[in-house]
């Protein structure tokens, strides 16, 4: 939390503040393919954004999300009529 009062004493940042946490790391050591694949996907998304429009990048994200989420939701068993004893 930032304190914007003029008379507030400066505080030291909490450990890990400003480092971005785990999201700022490009990849774990020993996994260079992960960095390369993320870079290729970012480049592809940028080219699609510039050439076709941003809505295609969004629609691709929604489509991939649905391809993953819908089968997972279908595979979860129904529990409406399960009676616990």
The dihedral formed by the CA atoms of 37, 39, 44 and 45, expressed in degrees to the nearest 10: 110
11's CB contacts (< 8 A; 6+ apart) are 3
Residue of higher predicted confidence among 42 and 83: 42
pLDDT in tens, 9-46: 656 555 555 555 444 455 556 677 788 889 999 999 99
The pTM (predicted TM-score) of the whole model is 0.47
Whether 74 contacts 66, CB under 8 Å: no
Write the pLDDT tens digit of every residue in 67-81: 999 999 999 988 888
């Amino acid at each position: 939390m930032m304190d914007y009062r003029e008379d507030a004493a400066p505080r030291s940042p909490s450990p890990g503040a400003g480092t971005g946490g785990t999201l700022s790391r490009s990849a774990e050591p020993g996994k260079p393919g992960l960095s390369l694949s993320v870079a290729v996907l970012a480049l592809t998304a940028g080219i699609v954004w510039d050439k076709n429009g941003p809505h295609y990048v969004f629609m691709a994200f929604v489509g991939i999300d649905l391809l993953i989420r819908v089968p997972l939701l279908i595979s979860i068993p129904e529990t409406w009529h399960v009676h616990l004893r």
